[in-house]
Amino acid sequence: MIKAKDFYENNVEKNSKKSNVLLKKINIISWSRLIIVIAMMLIDYLLYKADKYTSLIFNSLFFISIFIGVALYHNIKLEDKKRIDVMIDINQKGLKRLSGEFRKSEDNGNEYLDYNHPFISDLNIFGQNSIFQWINSTVSIGGREKLVDLLSLKENLNKNEILEKQCAIKELGEKVEWRQKFILEGSLKKSSDRKLEELIEWGKKKGSMNFITIIISCIFIFINFSSIFLAVVNILPVSFLLLVFMIDFIVIKFLTKDINTDIELFNNIKNNIKEYSELLALIQDEEFNSNYLKKLKNNLSNNDISCKIEMKKISNLLDWIGDSSYNAFYLILNILIFSDVFIMRNLALWRERNGDNIDTWLKVMNEFDALNSIANISFDNCDWTCPSILDSNEIYGNEIGHPLLGDIAVKNTFSLKDQQKVALITGSNMSGKSTFLRTLGSNLVLSYIGAPVNAQNFSCGIMSIYTCITTKDNLEESISSFYAEILRIKTLIEACKRGEKVFFLLDEIFKGTNSKDRHTGAIVLINQLIKYGGIGLVSTHDLELCDLENQDKKIINYNFREFYKNNKIHFDYKLRKGKSETQNAIHLMKLAGIELI
């Protein structure tokens, strides 16, 4: 973390100095532009008063040329400052990840919260103070959605692929400058949040532009320039020229009526194409060592087709497309040389060559975008460890901490292996039971996406995660929190019966019923989970459940404790073997001022 902190701080400091220097230059250039205009107007006025009109024209042209040059230089410096300011923001976000200020980020993925998902709502995957909010630095919509899919564990988990992803994440973590350049390029040219499914669909279309359309366009272009020449030499009146242009406009509308949708599509996404062209070029130009990244990159080259070259071609083509509704220059250009027709013809030829590759190329870019976010974990936490992926349904590790708590996380050692299948976690209120369940669950999720985990060492099998930690009433469906808990447990049991390798995290199960039913139900549930091959943790206040350890070697007890100092309750949040020997409910009531008779 110290290494990452130094890197981010040095970059913020270095780029802030550059930004300040550029700001001074930009201000000087801005004043220079004003001085040039004033000087031109003053000298032109003096020349006008002296009746030196030829000198006035040359003087105006001279100053206008200088003004244009200075304006272009001004735009270059503005663009340079914009890039530097984006880089400052990227590194400041890195510092916020380290300090915990990432919680202030507006993009927390709250829309992806799914209370029907086996674990999303319980493990802080999305929403406020979530893993998504912590690591997300994606610059494309597809990359963001890919990150969501990875964190939701939607893909089938495979040991070899997880191990390959670990190497990929580690490599990308070390390529922090390349990742920041990726984020920079993806942040500069953003246009809209328009998805690119329409581009993919366009790529799948077949057919090219009608050859007759090209012939007709060429004929009218010849007529245009012939008419202009004849009008210049006074053979044709200017009014005839206007008539020719009006006819051109009608002909263009007729010839492009079948491709108007495509023209509109490219008008809307040409900035996205330029952005994605830059990102794909970055990927293709970079050398990768890990097999997973190499395989991803290889999808960008197919025989004699290079994604970088082809995306540059379509990006350059789209630079010529202008919205004739708002761009007078493009309207004139379109009328003179039928630019819409020829641009769309070239795009059709490009589609014949590359249309089937668009989807693949974008998927590669999206996955790199998502993996770059996960690589933030690797770079920011160099003292974390890559977990060992086991073939057996086991989980154990030393000094395991919650990934979102950073330096304040209290770390614990835990083991559930060999014949042990269920860990009963007891302890008083606020002692750390629920947090520990979330600690194991969130580190499991990180393990499965190839990220390092907050532990000294960590080993786990590949299992389906099911949780029941926080249940809510659903007034629309008339479901109480207790019944919602029953439904989640039902889903868990069904998964076990289907033969899934299940890892469960159950917090104070059946808390919505009386103590006798809760005790009986818990025993039945635990026995069923063991019977059908599930392993996991159950936290409970029911100390009698701990007697199960003596009856079944597959059950083991752990506990959290509290202690009192100066009549105040304190917790060390340390996990210990055995059942809890303390309770604090009555003491907490007394501390709150509630008189107990």
Instruction: For 190-222, write each residue's pLDDT tens digit.
Output: 555 555 777 888 888 776 667 787 888 888 888
Tens of pLDDT along 388-438?
Answer: 999 999 999 999 999 999 888 999 999 999 899 999 999 888 888 999 999
What's at 95, amino acid-wise? L
Q: H/E/C letters for each residue in 21-70?
A: HHHHHHHHHHHHHHHHHHHHHHHHHHHHHCCCHHHHHHHHHHHHHHHHHH
| Residue with tokens 């002909």, as numbered in its chain | 251
Q: Which CATH number fits domain 388-591: 3.40.50.300, 3.30.950.10, 3.40.640.10, 3.30.470.20?
A: 3.40.50.300
**According to the model, what pLDDT value does residue 585 have?**
59
Q: Is the pLDDT of residue 476 over 60?
A: no
Most confident of 49-58, 248-257, 473-482, 585-594: 49-58
**According to the model, what pLDDT value does residue 66 have?**
92
**According to the model, what pLDDT value does residue 335 have?**
79
475/179 Cα distance (integer angstroms): 45
User: Measuring CA to CA, how many Å separate 199 from each of 309, 314, 355, 358, 367?
Assistant: 18, 12, 9, 8, 18
Beta bridge partners of 460: 389, 395
**According to the model, what pLDDT value does residue 324 have?**
47
Q: How would you class 320 by CB atoms within 10 Å of its CB: exposed for 0-12, middle for 13-18, buried for 19 or more?
A: middle
- Tokens representing 435 are 């947090």
- By the 8 A CB rule, do 400 and 413 touch? yes
Q: Is the pLDDT of residue 14 over 90?
A: yes
What mean pLDDT do residues 256-276 have?
76
| 3-state secondary structure at position 373 | helix
| Residue with tokens 């880089």, as numbered in its chain | 87
**According to the model, what pLDDT value does residue 477 have?**
42
| Residue with tokens 């976010």, as numbered in its chain | 373
Tens of pLDDT along 138-171?
Answer: 998 899 999 999 999 998 899 999 999 999 999 9
**According to the model, what pLDDT value does residue 569 have?**
77
Half-sphere exposure of 563 (CA within 13 A, CB side): 4
User: Measuring CA to CA, how many Å separate 53 from each of 48, 50, 64, 65, 572?
Assistant: 6, 8, 16, 18, 90
The better pLDDT of the pair 435, 579 is held by 435
What's at 554, amino acid-wise? K
- Tokens representing 169 are 């994440």
Q: How would you class 133 by CB atoms within 10 Å of its CB: exposed for 0-12, middle for 13-18, buried for 19 or more?
A: buried
Tens of pLDDT along 361-385?
Answer: 999 999 999 999 999 999 999 999 9
Q: Is the pLDDT of residue 25 over 50?
A: yes
**According to the model, what pLDDT value does residue 464 have?**
95
**According to the model, what pLDDT value does residue 395 have?**
96
For 339-376, letters b (16+ CB in 10 Å) and e give bbbbbbbbbbebbeebbebbbebbebbbbbbbbbbbbb
What mean pLDDT do residues 54-82 have?
90
Q: How many residues does the chain have?
A: 597
The model's pTM is 0.86
Element (H, E) at 435: helix 433-448
Tens of pLDDT along 92-126?
Answer: 999 999 998 999 888 999 999 988 899 998 999 99
**According to the model, what pLDDT value does residue 180 have?**
96
What mean pLDDT do residues 74-82 have?
92
Tens of pLDDT along 497-528?
Answer: 999 999 999 998 877 666 777 788 889 899 99
235/474 Cα distance (integer angstroms): 82
Give the start-to-end residue ranges of the domains of the chain.
1-99, 187-209+259-379, 388-591
The better pLDDT of the pair 242, 490 is held by 490
- As a whole-number percent, the residues of the chain with pLDDT over 90 amount to 51
49/203 Cα distance (integer angstroms): 64
Element (H, E) at 302: strand 301-302
- By the 8 A CB rule, do 431 and 558 touch? no
418/397 Cα distance (integer angstroms): 14
**Whole-number mean pLDDT of the chain?**
86
